[in-house]
Structure 1
Amino acid sequence: MTAVDTRNVYRIEDAAAVRGLAAELTNPSRHRVAVVVTCPSEAGVPRFNPNRIAAEIGSAADVYLITSRTLAYTFSDEMPLDVSVYGGAARVYPTGDAWIQNWRKAPIVLAYDEDQAEEKTHELVDAAITASYLAPEYTPTPAVRRAAPAAPSAPAKPSTPPPTPAALAARLGAAPVPKPAPAPAPVPTPKPAPVAPAPTPAPTLGLSPAATPAPSPATVAAAPTASPVEAVEAVEAVEVPTPQGPTPAERRTALQAALTTVHNLKSAATAASLAHAAELSELRVENARLNRTIQDRDEVHRASARTKKPKPATAAADPYWKPEWFADPERTLRYAVTSAWAERVPSYEKDDYPLSDYIVGPAFSESIDTFDDGQRTKALRTIVDVITGRARTISGRNVHPLRTGEGGDDAPRTRDDGAICYRANIETNTSSARRLHFWKLPDGTVELSRVVLHEDMEP
């Protein structure tokens, strides 16, 4: 795979790269959304512009360009049924592999010329971005396609200046620190005066012997004033008592209580596990008994059926085929297909397997005109399985491309409109078993071609 431009675009230019791409897309642990763009011819010119797709998607997905029609057919062979892409179309592959069982989860976008591709590019981009937002463990950052006006920024709040030493001391409960006076002009240093002895304090009267006498105004006035730095250092030196933790004896008691609780929980869990094991053993014995009862009952029914005399065989009427109700053979066929779908698909699966639009080829009605009721009923049920997509879940249908040769590597049969011819089993393990041939158009529509014998390899 060769990268194109600086975006997430890769060119698929050979068969090995095609096989690598198919393996990557079907990897259940893949966590990147992928967009695959194909070319309608060998010229390598796509209808969808992969660079524009990558520019609008941004990092939401990777874009792969298959550069020729032949490589697109190889890619179709490597991919599961109904989830390939070719003929100039483009497809979005979500993460994981749930889309393999439901091809509608991998949306396909068709365009028959470059102008139509230009108009439909937004559908492809929207599908890729939607798939990326649904992907687990990934937050896409798609490119901005519209610029919104910038919202006016809110005025910044003025920053709070750091507290002054005086404010810090007052906040912590220390004595107020006076604001230092401006430095005086330099003067000659005076000689120290002789220190006089401290006067004897006068007697004071207190409310009780334990009361602390209040200092006199003269004493307060004479007290030395601390500098701001000294006040902050004094505040920082105050030891704040921290709460004491539990004592060792208390911790030991708490640990013993916790161990006792754990032991009790383990004992309860063991008892519950033993009770569940006993109950499970009883259920297994009961299940074995019921299985033996069912087997014995089935054997009795089979023995009873063997002893009964077979009744004369009568041709079972086709419950779907009502040619007397319609003058047009195609309307007769469509009524029969709808009736077969209503009877074959259970009510709880009809939303998952709807009867999609289909095309009746010009030679199809004639190919089943001579069938008896039983053969026609088998063919109608096969048609329902193919149109609804149930055939890919039924191994007996063995749906596969009708190839140009007998080898498994030969190219499938195609038409100028990009349709591929497929083949499905109507009957198995019988001589001259019948097969249903049908065309699969690039948009997924089924066109019924013919019902043929096993040896007939023409579309």
Structure 2
Amino acid sequence: MATVQLVTSKQSASQLADLLNGATRRKPVVVVTTSSGQERPWIDPQRIAQEAGSLADVYLMPTGDISWAFAHQMADETQVYGGAGRVYPVGHEWTSNPRRSPLRFAFNPADGEWATDKLISDALRMAADAGLLQPVAQARPVAGIVTGVISGRGIVDLSQGLRATIAEELTVPGVRIERLLTVGQQVSGLYDPEAGRVDVRGGLRPAEEALAGYGIGDVVLARVAMVRNGKAELVLYPKTAQPEVRVAVLRAAVTTNEADDLRTLMSLDEVVRARVTATGPSWCLTMADVDDDEPVAPAPALLTGGPPWLVEELPTLDVETPPTVAMPAQAPPAAQEPIEPEPAVAEPEPEAPAAPAPPTPAIFGRRPTGTPAARPATPGPVPRPPSTPPIVATPPEAPSDTRQQLLLQITALKTRIATLEAEAEKARALAEANSDEIRQLRYVINKVEAERDRAENGLARSRTELRKARGKRSRPAAEEPQFADPELGFRHLVQARWATRTPVAEQAARPLPEYGIGAGFIQSLADLEGVSREKVADVVVEVVTGVAPKVAGREVHRLRSGMGGADPVRTRADGAVGYRASLQTGTPSARRIHYWMLPGGQIELARVCTHDDFSI
């Protein structure tokens, strides 16, 4: 049975600090505190102990002389007091990096519920990181139906009227529960009756099976796992029982500008589109030639019958904030003028301003025995969150100006995020130190954090737009080779696109076959608008190498004389059969390419045209 251990004396507080700082601990420790003068905490330690089960130990400590004795032995910024809670992971990295052990504040019942959920999530995630997820002795196999997915938990109805949960943190690291489960899905796993949880990790699909549907030429989704100046790493499939499928892409596979810094073009954890140029086990991806109108293959499900583990979505400007008490009708207290960021310049990323020194436990009830508590000094003006300027799309008429403005916008947003983070830290410190101002300070904290999140979302949007602009950028006309013969120029373009899309190590095994060009093809290419020559050359590479029929978005089929299914297939006297493939999908008058398949298997390009044109 899960229990909460009480810290009732300075001696037991000192022993708890020794446990956290020592080398014998093998599981995370959750420490919850009561507010000064309160008998019961806003955070629910019993629920934390129940959900954590054997994966973490839970302690409850009052604020005052006992928390002071505890804080005296802890590293700066790792203490806990004043009604807050903190989970300490295994190891000692948190002593030098307090962000590894985030402090969860609670100043009222609504905050307490939010902080309880956060601490449960922290404890389970840290237990998974520590490798503690071994099947418990009393676990038994079960099967059931997912009836709900909410707040990081999947709700499963089992047989005999039992109901259990699936914890996001104990399944696939870094993957939200909504990307693992869906209502109505059948799942199976090991049921832990003490914690009321089902462990479904045994049902996770192997990467080889999940990615078997991807083929060369497919446009797929991947998550940015690492990004540096000239290199990024994209994840096609997350870590399960096997290592994740991670693919390195160099600058040339993302942008045609050799001076671009990839950190400006993509964000960590962003979901991006990429084209498969080689399948597993040695996957290769490119992002430079992916068009916005191309169909995207859905990401595989992690569990049979589940949703895709990745979806393409732009950040929204609506941000959820932690629950808090509704503010009274009056406006917040008078505030000093907002701190404006310095004018944006295209310089390296600015460092965030140093946060103010954290308050000490002394302000939460430390006083000589028998002496009434001194009222904390009323703080000065509360900093007002600066308003975030709207993110305005740059007109598309001037591409070079667009890229420059996006770069400046990104730099300005980074500066703004750093400023807002500093403001949030100041507001948090004041909230800890001044209980009489808590309601108004919580209002300020939520406003500042919401504005910071909006700025971060704007930064992600700007990076995405800039990457698209960079990816479409071509070399100056003076650098492009010039050909008097248009057919020779097109053949050169096809050869260049083949070399770009085929890794050097595989070019000998996957050569570009010989192909013919019909008499009217070059003229139809010159007459057709709405599709670039580069896109046509890409599809020609897929057609002549035999990849196009395997790409769903190409919609390769025999060419008939009309739109009817009974219309005859076009053939030639020499036995050649007409075929059609899509250059575009989902656009008005989508463009198509027509070609002949000769009896020996060689391709002869016939013409490019619109969807309703069936001539060849």
How high is the TM-score relative to the length of structure 2? 0.27
Pick the structure with greater CA Rg.
Answer: 1
Higher helix fraction: Structure 1 or Structure 2?
1
How high is the TM-score relative to the length of structure 1? 0.35
